[in-house]
Structure formats: C-alpha cells, structure tokens
Amino acid sequence: MTKIRFLHRGEIREIHDPDPNLTVLRWLRENEGLTGTKEGCAEGDCGACTVVLGSLDAEDQLIYRAVNSCILLLPVLDGKQLIAIEDIGTPDDLHPVQDAMVASHGSQCGFCTPGFVASLFAEYHAEAPATDQRALAQSLAGNLCRCTGYRPILDAGLAALKTAGKDKFQARRADTISQLKAIERAGTLTTNYGGRSYSAPQTIEDLAALFEASPDAKLLAGGTDIGLEITKGRRSLDTIIYTGMVRDLTEVTTNETAITIGAAAPYTDAVPALTKDFPEASELFSRLGAVQVRNLGTLGGNIANASPIGDTPPVLIALSADLVLRQGKNERQIAIETFFTDYRQTVLRPGEFIARIIVPRRNQANLYGFYKLTKRFDQDISAVCGGFCLTVRDDVVTEARLAFGGMAATPKRGHTAEKMLIGQPWNGASADLAATALGDDFTPLSDFRASADYRRLSAQNLLRRFWLDTDPARDAQPTGVLDYV
C-alpha cells in the first residue's frame, strides 16, 4: 500500500492508492464536496475547472501554475500543492483578484468565474505579471466566458495585478516551501488501485526499466491528451507510467551547439529556450494551447502523439531537430522528420520512448518563419501549421526546409517546393514558384477545421508571407493581423 502526499488547504493530505483514472476535478467535487471548481468541457479547453498547482523549482523556489483539473489525474498531485477556488478566498475574506472581479462586475452567470479567479491568482504570483490587456488576454486564453465579453475580467485582472504578490499565500511562502520539502519523494512512486497501477519514476534508468518491463503501459507526460482518453474516450487506463517526475526528462539545457529539451519538460519551461534563439516562433508558441495546457503539456507528448495537426513537429522539422529515443539501456538518435511513419504511427518500438529533443542553435545564415492558421487565434488546433527554414548564402538559397502540419497524414516537408528554391535567390518570385510547387507536395483533406482548398491555398500563401516577413527591404509595416495594432 502506498500513499500519495500533497498539500491542500494548509495540510498535508495522504491518499492511499488512489484511482489513477480519477481526475482532480472529480476528486474535489465528488470526494471532497468542494464544488466551487466547475466542469465546462472535460477536455481542458474552457478553463472552468482551473486550479493552481504549487511546486518547487530547481532552486527550491515556490512556483504557482494554473492547470485544468478536469484532465489532471489525481496521483500527479504527489509532492505538489493544490489550490482550488475555496482556498483562494471567501465572501468575507476576498483575495485581491476576487475583490477586483466583484468591483469590475467581472462575473455574470458565474460558472466560469472560479476558473478565471484561479488563473488570475496564478498570474498574481507569476514572476512578471501581465501589465497590459494583450498580455493578460494571453494569460487568460484558456478561460472561456460566454457572458461578459471579457472586458470587465481583463480590467479586474489588470487592477489586481498592480499589487501582485501581496497576499496571504505570499506571507505563508516559507511554510509552504518547507511543507513541500517535507513531502518530497525519493525514488519511484507506485500505487495500485483495483487493477490499475500508477508509477512515477524519478530517473531515466528507472523509467526505461519500468517501460521495458511493461511496454503496454500508457506513458503519461502532461496528460493534456491522455486525460481525454478517460474523460472523452471513457477508457480505462490500467497501467500508467508518469514521466513528469523524471529529472533527466524535464531538464532544458542550452550549450554552444544545441538546445536540449527533456521530452517531459512542460512547454512553459521548454519554450523560452527555443524562442530565445528563434523569436520568430514566439507567436506560434503563445498560441499553442493556452497557459493551462502549456503548464502541463510537453514537446515529447506532442511529438509522440504523432497527430498530423500537432504544432511542434513542423517547427522542429524546420529546425532540423533530432530525437533521442531510449529503450532499456539503449539510446538512438534520429532526425525528427523520420519519426512519423503514417497517420499516428511512429518508429517507436515497444518499451521505447522519446528521452529528449535536440535542436541545433540558430544559424545566422538561416531565415526562419513559423505560422499557425486557426479559426480562433488563441487555444485552437491548427488547420495548417508551417515551419520554414532557409539557408541563404551569397543571395542564393542553398538549403530549404518547408514543413507543414495539417496537410497530410503526418507532419511532412514539401520537398518539391524545397527543390524549387534551391539555387534561386530568395524573393517574391521564388516564393511564388515554391508556392505553386507546393501543390504537388500535398493532397490535404477537408474536415471541420478547413477544406482541402483552403489548406492548399493558405499553405501556399504562407510561403509568400514568409518572403514578406524575411524581405530585407521590409519596412516597419506589420505583415500579419496580430502584429497590427
């Protein structure tokens, strides 16, 4: 019998062998009778279920992050602090963000409100809280409100954030840190509930051994996709191995030649290293999921998922990234573009997993562009995603990598279009040539996200946009509607 331990309402909670398929939302509402946190969609897309997780970073600093409790599995709480709406404040003792929400008339029906408050609470404790509407709207992109139109919520948030970091949680910070230290675990957590097991190893060796021994286990990273197998697919996940506690898999390091990202590092930790070298990707990453998803979701998960519409594969293919795959004690390194073999099929062998992603540092001779087309800008799955990298030497394209998502059964390069560019100067006419050639590279599908015609045409036009964005004679005029203020 094993207990998971986490901090909740100022106390260390211990739960014996919890059901690893039980979500934190259901645990709060059904087991604890804490019904302030709401279910709006059960897929991590509306934010009504937002709660805040406290954890210690590598320097033992306490960090608070908003997550969707509807797809968060209970044992993942092990070693963390859980803050739900009931903990943030009460009608007689409102937290500053709650007070501001009331003062700004930020709630109407009130159903989404606890989720907004939780997200604002996390922002209140962020290293650099938002100071303008656009930044705060980004932080709240994972919270949907159908009543207010958001203006009063944004006003409330901006007002409250002016005094950020001065609440009772801040005052208790040292105590919280020592409580979290006290429940730190050494070694693998293993729980058993009925026929369901959950393991959370802490070293890559332990992970590899566990997965090799049960190759049919479900590897759980952020759970922003796997959680839906339970809540939407209504499947039972009987053997879960959680990768989020594996130190080697959560590290992000940069050296002279490469950025190395542990496959289980959440986007929130991984993306800054990438956008530092490749600021062209900032917009795309800021629109990948939303804060709650990026706080849990991982590059490794996005890749291993092998969805044709994942946002990171086109980026990483364009960046010539490699994957290090591990099986037992063996590792192999492959180019990411060779990873995907067919619709949701990969080269992964039984018991093998992605350990890390290796991205070569920026090459100053290269031009980069990353694009994502969606119905809604924020938190939407791409109709088309493009990752482009051109090497231009002596005014001639010597190497071209034009990778697309949403255009085929796998993330894929447009080789015909690439060939068309080699040996050409990079200009509008070349972009047109490549765009035309792209028609031979892809036969996209029509579905509810977009028609084949739109996918084809917009993908072609993204190459034209790429030229406009990289045109050395480009003036200060914005090229996309998001840059336009």
102 contacts another protein (rule: CB under 8 A): yes
232 contacts another protein (rule: CB under 8 A): yes
Report the 3 state secondary structure along 404-464: EECCCCCCEECHHHHHHHCCCCCCHHHHHHHHHHHHHHCCCCCCCCCCHHHHHHHHHHHHH
Q: How far is the CB of 277 from another protein (least distance, A)?
A: 26
Among 145, 291, 323, 385, binds another protein (CB under 8 A): 145
397 contacts another protein (rule: CB under 8 A): no
Judged on CB neighbours under 10 Å (0-12, 13-18, 19+), 289 is buried
18 contacts another protein (rule: CB under 8 A): no
Which residues neighbour 123 within 8 Å (Cβ) at sequence distance 6 or greater?
66, 129, 130, 136, 139, 157, 161, 164
433 contacts another protein (rule: CB under 8 A): no
90 contacts another protein (rule: CB under 8 A): yes
85-93, 162-170, 299-307, 338-346 -> range binding another protein (CB under 8 A): 85-93
205 contacts another protein (rule: CB under 8 A): no
Using CB under 8 A as the binding criterion, the count of chain residues that bind another protein stands at 92
Please give the order of strands across the beta sheet that includes 352-360: 252-254, 258-262, 352-360, 322-327, 330-335
Q: How far is the CB of 54 from another protein (least distance, A)?
A: 18
Print burial letters for 131-157: b (CB count within 10 Å at least 16), e (below 16). Answer: eeeebbbbbbbbbbbeebebebbbbbb
Residue 96 in tokens: 């500053």
Print burial letters for 187-213: b (CB count within 10 Å at least 16), e (below 16). Answer: ebbebebeebbbbbbbebebbbebbbe
Nearest CB to another protein, comparing residues 355 and 450: 450
Q: How far is the CB of 309 from another protein (least distance, A)?
A: 11
Among 12, 31, 109, 247, binds another protein (CB under 8 A): 109
141-149, 159-167, 198-206, 417-425 -> range binding another protein (CB under 8 A): 141-149
Among 57, 58, 234, 329, binds another protein (CB under 8 A): 234
Q: How far is the CB of 105 from another protein (least distance, A)?
A: 5
148 contacts another protein (rule: CB under 8 A): yes
42-50, 206-214, 267-275, 338-346 -> range binding another protein (CB under 8 A): 42-50
Q: How far is the CB of 290 from another protein (least distance, A)?
A: 8
Q: How far is the CB of 58 from another protein (least distance, A)?
A: 31
Q: Which of residues 440-459 bind another protein (CB under 8 A)?
A: 447-451, 453-454, 457-458
CA torsion, ordered 270, 273, 277, 279, to nearest 10 deg: 60
4-12, 140-148, 262-270, 321-329 -> range binding another protein (CB under 8 A): 140-148
89 contacts another protein (rule: CB under 8 A): yes
Nearest CB to another protein, comparing residues 220 and 459: 459
Q: How far is the CB of 174 from another protein (least distance, A)?
A: 26
Strand partners, 175: none
Pairing mode, strands 81-83 and 3-8: parallel
Q: Which of residues 299-318 bind another protein (CB under 8 A)?
A: none
Q: Which of residues 150-169 bind another protein (CB under 8 A)?
A: 150-154
Among 10, 350, 425, 480, binds another protein (CB under 8 A): 480
What track of x and - describes contact with another protein for positions 356 through 385 (by CB under 8 A)? Answer: -----------------xxxxxxxxx-x--
Q: Which of residues 279-298 bind another protein (CB under 8 A)?
A: 290
| Rounded CA separation 101/398 (Å) | 55
Nearest CB to another protein, comparing residues 89 and 414: 89
Q: From the CB of residue 376, how many other CB atoms can be counted at a distance below 10 Å?
A: 9
Among 9, 61, 149, 181, binds another protein (CB under 8 A): 149
Among 11, 91, 128, 255, binds another protein (CB under 8 A): 91
Nearest CB to another protein, comparing residues 126 and 336: 126
96 contacts another protein (rule: CB under 8 A): no
Residue 400 in tokens: 């071209």
Nearest CB to another protein, comparing residues 25 and 348: 25
Q: How far is the CB of 41 from another protein (least distance, A)?
A: 4
Q: How far is the CB of 141 from another protein (least distance, A)?
A: 5
Among 16, 105, 419, 474, binds another protein (CB under 8 A): 105
Q: Which of residues 47-66 bind another protein (CB under 8 A)?
A: 48
